[in-house]
């Protein structure tokens, strides 16, 4: 059985994760909680979020869930404040929430554009705004923005999503510069084709999985825990002098 790293600096660490009820987000919640972190996570999937929080809490881990739409900035920032009251000011923020809904560029309306930007980009900025004062006070912190290789490999039927995800690394670079002198690191974590229930349901049939594996430098498939383990490293003190970078967990598919 493969054994993975334990990060002592994450013990007791207040962590905020968006979109944590399923897929990559649930793996993030599980992995941070297993490290002994105090995890607060939000999602619109109330039942799944409550079930995950109850499972981990009952196993002795420190996890708090809030049913929250991250496109409602006021509600999201209030949820982050509630997590801080319970766990202490967040010293790790993982901006994971997003939605890769397919769309035809010719049919995109201004309203749809604004909605997709809110789901895939806007919330990350305002979450940073909410946690940064506590990190500045502590003189340290790690912010991890989740990107996507979709724009790097030109995945079809995703132009608005890909624009938001490309902009995510611009946000990373900008905020790394703004916050770095306060001891706060900001990095992008960029998943490749991750095998989740949603992806299997909608897009990853047997042929697609084979095509992706063939395109990667590494054979095989990538799972949510693979992404979460990179997030742990970027959150821990082990990456103390790493900032403004993007880290691809894609099996060696995209050329960044």
Average pLDDT over residues 108-113: 98
Q: What is the reported pTM?
A: 0.96
The phi-psi region of residue 19 (left if phi > 0; otherwise alpha if psi is between -120 and 50; otherwise beta) is left
In the prediction, which pLDDT does 202 show? Answer: 64
**Alpha-carbon distance 202 to 179, whole Å?**
39
Confidence band of 194 (pLDDT split at 50, 70, 90)? confident
Q: Across residues 69-82, what is the average pLDDT?
A: 98
Question: pLDDT tens digit string along 28-51?
Answer: 999 999 999 999 999 999 999 999
7 as an active site residue: the answer is: no
Confidence of residue 14 (pLDDT cuts 50, 70, 90): very high
Residue 231 has pLDDT above 90, yes or no: yes
On the question of pLDDT at 197 being above 80, the answer is no
pLDDT band at 203 (very low <50, low <70, confident <90, very high): low
The pLDDT of residue 167: 98
Identify the CATH homologous superfamily for domain 11-196+224-248.
Answer: NAD(P)-binding Rossmann-like Domain (3.40.50.720)
Residues 220-240 have a mean pLDDT of 96
Q: Is 62 helix (H, G, I), strand (E, B) or coil?
A: strand
How far apart are the C-alpha atoms of 193 and 4, rounded to whole Å?
22
Tell me what pLDDT residue 256 has.
55
Picking from 143, 146, 153, the residue whose alpha carbon sits closest to that of residue 175 is 143
Judge whether 35 and 232 are in contact, CB under 8 Å.
yes
**Annotated catalytic residue within 7, 76, 112, 161:** 161
Evaluated on CA atoms 34, 40, 44, 48, the torsion sign reads: positive
Token digits for 98?
Answer: 């997003």
Q: What is the mean pLDDT of residues 55-64?
A: 98
First to last CA, the chain: 32
Which parts of the chain fold into alpha helices (H)?
Answer: 23-34, 46-58, 73-87, 110-117, 123-138, 159-179, 197-202, 206-215, 224-235
Q: How confident is the model at residue 205 (pLDDT cuts 50, 70, 90)?
A: confident
Radius of gyration of the chain (CA): 17
pLDDT at 195: 87
The strand order across the sheet containing 38-43 reads: 62-67, 38-43, 14-18, 92-95, 141-146, 184-191, 246-249
């Amino acid at each position: 059985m493969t054994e993975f790293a334990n990060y002592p600096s994450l013990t007791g660490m207040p962590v905020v994760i968006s979109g944590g009820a399923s897929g990559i987000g649930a793996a993030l919640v599980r992995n941070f909680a297993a490290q002994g972190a105090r995890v607060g996570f939000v999602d619109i999937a109330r039942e799944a979020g409550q079930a995950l929080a109850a499972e981990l809490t009952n196993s002795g881990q420190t996890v708090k869930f809030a049913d929250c739409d991250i496109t409602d900035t006021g509600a999201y920032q209030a949820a982050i404040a509630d997590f801080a009251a319970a766990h202490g000011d967040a010293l790790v923020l993982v901006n994971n929430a997003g939605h890769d809904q397919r769309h035809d560029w010719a049919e995109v309306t201004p309203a749809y554009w604004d909605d997709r930007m809110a789901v895939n980009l806007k919330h990350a900025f305002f979450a940073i705004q909410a946690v940064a004062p506590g990190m500045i006070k502590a003189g340290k912190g790690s912010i991890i923005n989740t990107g996507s290789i979709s724009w790097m490999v030109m995945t079809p039927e995703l132009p608005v999503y890909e624009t938001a995800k490309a902009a995510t690394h611009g946000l990373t670079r900008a905020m790394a510069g703004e916050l770095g002198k306060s001891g706060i690191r900001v990095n992008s974590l960029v998943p490749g084709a991750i095998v989740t229930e949603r992806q299997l349901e909608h897009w990853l049939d047997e042929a697609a999985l084979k095509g992706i594996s063939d395109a990667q430098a590494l054979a095989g498939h990538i799972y949510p825990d693979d992404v979460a383990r990179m997030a742990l490293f970027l959150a821990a003190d082990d990456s103390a002098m790493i900032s403004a970078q993007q880290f691809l967990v894609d099996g060696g598919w995209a050329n960044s």
